[in-house]
Amino acid sequence: MAETELPARELQTPVQETDVLIIGGGLAGVCAATALSRKGYDVTLVSTHDRHPPDFRAEKIGEDQMILFERLGLGDAVHAQMTAFDGVWLHRFGRIIERGTKREYGSDYSDLVNALRRALPPEVRSVIGRVETMETSADRQIAVLSDGRTFNARLLVVATGLGDAVRKKLGVEREIISPQHSLCCGFDLEKPRGDFPFPSLVWNGERFNDRVSYLTLFPIEDKIRANFFVYRNSSEEWTRSFRDHPEQSMRELMPDLESMFGEIKVTGPVIARPIDLVKVHNHERDGMVLIGDAFCVVCPITGTGIDKALTDVDRLCNTYIPRWFESPGMPAAKIRAFYADPVKTARDESAMKMSLNSKSIKTETGLYWKLRRLRSNTLGRARYAVRGALKRLKSPA
């Protein structure tokens, strides 16, 4: 059931009671609303827009993430929206070293979120508005929208992604672990999917000091989408130059790309999004819980962002909320169990560690990281040399 925002003077509605009030209509919030509604809870989802606005976020997932969507009851909607492709060609050490066959999926992030919104169960009360004030306690949570509508819930779930307004109003502190940690660039290629020999491609940075993590090319419908991940600052001259002349920049950084796959021409805008690594503090509070990027922001280079958000939703909706609702009240002691969940903490800690280490091994000049790079390159070359030799032995003469 959808509602629209009305002028405050026209509203004469009483306080609306609900089991769970979710603030944030992005991926985590919509998935949580769907999962909880299907378990029989009365759910209200508050979003600031009736459609998720254009947003350059995660655009590719693997089978593990698809399984999580299916666990939440959203597999059909996600399968229908995303483009499936079987395999990734991996370029490293100056050549294609692997032609994988695992299935992956691609989609514009906003289109995916809007598809998930369309799949919301009709029982979910979907509200368009902005939260003005909130009061949390060990018993009931009160949220008042800017137009005067008021909601009274047993539990408040904050799923506002990178937005800060709700977090600040709740008094939750935000710590930037690594400012301007990386830069993610997204753009489309002019040539269609059928003009490339690969199902998808990952092209690793070729030199230590090029500050390139990797370029990935993958299909979304009939087009080829590019995500280019670098360790750069958004205010650098390099970033401005890349936005204006992406083809030239890629030729300089990856000179063999066009010789292998033909001319690479960009069509449409180049979006460059800086990434800060973020954690929150003072969040173990009565009546409220933070999930997804509202709780912790990691680097998309690691490919763990959606997995982390879906793990939060899965553990919260399938394990903890059913336990919490078995007894009265919603004190911080209950909420604390979710933040300490071993599956959640392992996923969060692994994603943050990968985010920090991936940058350090590419940019740090200390002895420790020099040895790590040497070890990684040596083992990598040896591993793929052995694989190649085994394939040749198995091939018929």
CATH, residue 165? 3.50.50.60
Evaluate whether residue 154 is within a structural domain: yes
Percent of the chain at pLDDT exceeding 70? 94
Euclidean distance between CA atoms 294 and 278, whole angstroms = 9
For residue 356, with 0-12 CB atoms within 10 Å meaning exposed, 13-18 middle and 19 or more buried, which class applies?
middle
pLDDT of residue 91: 96
Evaluate whether residue 255 is within a structural domain: no
Evaluate whether residue 397 is within a structural domain: no
Evaluate whether residue 258 is within a structural domain: no
Euclidean distance between CA atoms 385 and 390, whole angstroms = 9
Angle between helices 305-315 and 342-363 (to 10 degrees): 170
Does the structure show a pLDDT above 60 at 167?
yes
Q: CB–CB of 157/289 below 8 Å?
A: yes
Annotate 124-156 with b (16+ C-beta within 10 A) or e (fewer).
bbbbbbebeebebebebbbbbbebbbebbbbbb
Q: Give pLDDT tens digits for 56-91.
A: 988 999 999 999 999 999 999 999 999 999 999 999
* Segments forming the whole domain that contains residue 61: 2-83+108-177+277-357
Evaluate whether residue 295 is within a structural domain: yes
Evaluate whether residue 337 is within a structural domain: yes
Evaluate whether residue 395 is within a structural domain: no
Which residues neighbour 391 within 8 Å (Cβ) at sequence distance 6 or greater?
none
Angle between helices 367-394 and 342-363 (to 10 degrees): 100
pLDDT of residue 58: 82
Phi, psi of 269 (to 5 degrees): -75, 155
Evaluate whether residue 160 is within a structural domain: yes
Count of the separate structural domains present in the chain: 1
Model confidence at 375, pLDDT cuts 50, 70, 90, reads confident
